[in-house]
Each structure stands twice: as C-alpha cells, then as structure tokens.
Amino acid sequence: MAAAILELSGVGKSFRSADGHERRVLDGVDFTLREGEIVSLLGASGSGKSTLLRIMAGLIEADGGEVRWRGRPLYGPVRGIGMVFQSFALFPWLTVQQNVELGLEARGMPPAQRAPRAARAIALIGLGGFEGALPRELSGGMRQRVGIARALVTEPEVLLMDEAFSALDVLTGERLRDDILELWRSGTMPTKAMLVVSHNIEEAVLMADRVLVFASNPGRIRSQTAVRLPRPRAPDSADVRLLIDEIYALMTAGAGRAAAHAPLAERLPDTDVARMDGLLQLLIAAPFDGSADLPALAEEAQLADAELLAAAHALALLGLVQLERGDVKITPLGRRYAEGAHTLRQELFGQQLIAHVPLAAHIRRSLEEEPDGRLPQEPFLSLLAEHLSQAEAARVLHTLIAWGRHGEVFEYDYHTGMLTLPSGDEDDAADTEG
C-alpha cells in the first residue's frame, strides 16, 4: 500500500454557538490520505467538510483524536499542505501576481525568488498574461484559477480543495477540473495526493480513486467507495453511471425515517414547496411514471445534485416519495398529492408536516394553547440555535415557515415576526384543545 501522508484517527470537533451551547460538528473521523491518490469528499451542507479540511491543513485544531502528517502529529500549518478555499478569497487590491506570491512571502522567500515561481504557477494554471490584472477584472473561473495557483506555488505535497469548482458555471468548472486532472496525470505539479470536497456526485466519480460520503450531525464518514476506472473517464459510460447511482443511494440512505426518532431541532432540507411540487410533477409524468433514477431525475429537472437531493429528502421526509438505493418512487399519498387540486394539496401537505416534522407540530400546538393564537418566532429560533448555528437556525425556521404556510399549519407575519394560527382556524383550535 502507498505511504500514508495524512492520517486522521478519531478526529472530533465541537463549536460553541452564540448562546454558549456546544455543538459537535465532527465526531470519530478516521481517514488516511495516501501517496498517489485523489479522494473526493461528498456530504450535505453543514456536515463539517470545510471544518475537516481546515483541521487537515492545520488551520484549526481538533479537540479530539489525532492528525498525523507523515507520521508526526500535526500542530499547525505545514509547508507541504496547500489549500484552495471554497470562496475565492483573493485580496482585491493585489494583482494576480501579488496574490499568488503571498504564500511565498509568508514563508520569508525574497522577492527575486518569489516572482519567477509565481509566474510559473500562473502559467501552469493557464493564466499567463494576466499577472498584472486585479481580481475584479477576472471572470469567476479565472479567479478560482488564481486561488489554485496560490496553493500550487508553494509546491504542496497535499492539495486540499474545498469545492473549488462549485461557484463556477458548469462548463468553466468542468474545464478547470479537467485541467487539474491533466496536470496531475502529466506530473507537472509536484502534488502527491489530493482531497477534493465536492457537491457534485458526477464530479467526484470522474476525479477520484475513492469517494467518501459524509454523514451529518455530527459529521463522520458514512461510506467509502473505491473507483477503479481508468482515466480519463467518460461521464456517460455505463461504469460511471453505475457508480453515480451507487453513491446517490448511499447519500439518500436513512431518508424518510420514523418521525418518532426525529429531533425537534432537525436540520430540514433547504428546499421550497415549488421545487418539491415541480419534482413530483416530473416524477408522475412520462418517462418516469412514478419511479425514477435520481441522476436521471436531476438531469430532467435541470437541478444540481445538492438541490435535487434536498428536494428529494424533503419529499421523503413528508412521506410523499420513497428513496431506495438511488431510486425515488412516488408513494400512494404522494400520487394523491401530485394529482390533487390546490386545496387538497395544501391539506395533505399540512397533515404530513405535522405528522413528520416535530417542530411543525410543536409550533402548531403552542399556538393553539395561546388564547389569541399568536407567538413570536424568537423562542423557536432559540430552540433551533441550541443545536444549530445561528445562521442555520434562521435558515431552518425560514424553511419551516414557508412549508407551514403552504400546509396552512400556521401563518407568519414578515413585518412583526409573529407566528399565528391561520385565519379561520381559531375555532378548530378551541375544538382540539377541548
């Protein structure tokens, strides 16, 4: 087996949220990156991928377990590890050349040596001629290339790439990815191993020797899939499609679980009702007739994997579809919903929301217990923030409010931030409360 470069054993990390609660973001992560391999890391938003990369780069410290770099404990940033960040993170007032030289300057290399090395890295990544340009004069794809050149100029043995391609349009992202693979194949970059965080299953399968799927809450490795296909890999080849299917299945395992096990502060999938409805309509129509392969549905719906997965998870959560081994199948209830008139749809949606999303039921019950059927959103937001970051808590409540309004479970006033029972429901409330 090839030599281990980075070894993680039992790595954990907690963050303290604004209100002082500890949140476990990573737990028990075991993983070894070896010479000669490209590993892709897939996982839901917020599952801790960037945090793991920062720990591997020595930028932040794990609070449990151990990270070893070439056999020695890693205590901080080291020369051999380069990182490309999720956002372009360039200094807007510095030129391309100056941005790329930064990494070398930080380690005290004199300007006379820095300049030619930066120029080489810039040329390598296809930006020759743009040395004097400022970031704002570049396209998104070119800016991301500067970010990669800045990592490559230090000649890292390990390159950690955090969604280096996802902020780019599809074609630009593909071109950049292919260029990186070509540099890797030809041996023109000194990098011996790469870990690539991705939101795109196809990208992961096309690039990697191994695909890791991360589970959320806390983040940990759910599965590893070896990809033993020669490169370059054709996206449409049967082998590639089969693996994409398999990984979709791994990523959707466990969706639609029993509501009894769902936590009150659950991280709901980030999706909206219109997208869920749109997917159901596609699903019941030809050629799918109620059952589809997730990648095929993603293509038909023209959605990115993350968007499709979020909507599919939401539908599964509500019992409108079933997810099984990478396939999505409409349930009898889902069919009634998809074929129903608007009021029936609202009714079914609300019923499923209360049955399957404990927080929706909790909000509804709390409103019914109020004499005037009104409550501010803050207590529910704090409840979520005990388990999620402030930003995620707000996002989840926002999602739930949109779903709750569609299902007429509750109303929300965007001016006052007050949750209320839907008009005409006050009498029902009195009935249910007896």
Ligand X SMILES: Nc1ncnc2c1ncn2[C@@H]1O[C@H](COP(=O)(O)OP(=O)(O)OP(=O)(O)O)[C@@H](O)[C@H]1O
Smallest separation (angstroms) from ligand X to the CB of 387: 10
Rounded Cα distance between 252 and 308, Å, is 11
Q: Which does residue 82 bind out of Mg ion, ligand X, none, counting CB within 5 to 8 angstroms by kind?
A: none
Nearer to Mg ion, 50 or 389 (CB): 50
Map residues 74-103 to x or -, x wherever contact with ligand X holds by CB under 6 A.
------------x-----------------
Binding ligand X (rule: CB under 6 A), the pick from 40, 47, 99, 420 is 47
Q: Which does residue 48 bind out of ligand X, Mg ion, none, counting CB within 5 to 8 angstroms by kind?
A: ligand X
Binding ligand X (rule: CB under 6 A), the pick from 245, 392, 408, 411 is 392
Binding ligand X (rule: CB under 6 A), the pick from 389, 402, 405, 426 is 389
**Binding flag, residue 27, ligand X (CB under 6 A):** no
**Binding flag, residue 269, ligand X (CB under 6 A):** no
Rounded Cα distance between 239 and 388, Å, is 39
Neighbours of 41 (CB within 10 A): 26
**Binding flag, residue 43, ligand X (CB under 6 A):** yes
Binding Mg ion (rule: CB under 5 A), the pick from 14, 17, 32, 50 is 50
Pairing of strands 321-324, 81-84: unpaired
Smallest separation (angstroms) from ligand X to the CB of 295: 20
Binding ligand X (rule: CB under 6 A), the pick from 4, 15, 120, 278 is 15
If DSSP codes are grouped into helix, strand and coil, which group holds residue 273? helix
Q: Number of C-alpha atoms within 13 angstroms, CB side, residue 251?
A: 30
Rounded Cα distance between 25 and 217, Å, is 6
Smallest separation (angstroms) from Mg ion to the CB of 43: 9
Smallest separation (angstroms) from ligand X to the CB of 263: 15
Smallest separation (angstroms) from ligand X to the CB of 376: 24
Report how far apart, in Å, the C-alpha atoms of 234 and of each of 37, 203, 206 are: 19, 11, 8
If DSSP codes are grouped into helix, strand and coil, which group holds residue 418? strand
Which sign, positive or negative, has the C-alpha torsion 226, 230, 232, 236? negative
Nearer to ligand X, 202 or 327 (CB): 202
**Binding flag, residue 216, Mg ion (CB under 5 A):** no
Rounded Cα distance between 34 and 230, Å, is 19
**Binding flag, residue 25, ligand X (CB under 6 A):** yes
- Please report how the helices 342-356 and 390-406 are oriented relative to each other, as an axis angle in degrees rounded to 10: 140
Nearer to ligand X, 50 or 366 (CB): 50
Start-end of H helices in 127-268: 140-152, 170-186, 201-207, 238-252
For 430, counting Cβ atoms within 10 Å of its Cβ (0-12 exposed, 13-18 middle, 19+ buried), the class is: exposed
**Binding flag, residue 331, Mg ion (CB under 5 A):** no
Cα torsion through 53, 58, 63, 67, rounded to 10: 80
Rounded Cα distance between 320 and 313, Å, is 10
Nearer to Mg ion, 306 or 419 (CB): 306
Nearer to Mg ion, 50 or 291 (CB): 50
DSSP line for 115-135: HHHHHHHHHHTT-TT-TT--G
Binding ligand X (rule: CB under 6 A), the pick from 27, 31, 49, 83 is 49
Smallest separation (angstroms) from Mg ion to the CB of 86: 5
**Binding flag, residue 12, ligand X (CB under 6 A):** no
Closest Cα to residue 377, out of 423, 416, 332? 416
Near Mg ion in 277-306, by CB under 5 A: none
**Binding flag, residue 98, Mg ion (CB under 5 A):** no
Q: Which does residue 32 bind out of ligand X, Mg ion, none, counting CB within 5 to 8 angstroms by kind?
A: none
Binding site for Mg ion (CB under 5 A): 50
Binding site for ligand X (CB under 6 A): 15, 25, 43, 45-51, 86, 389, 392
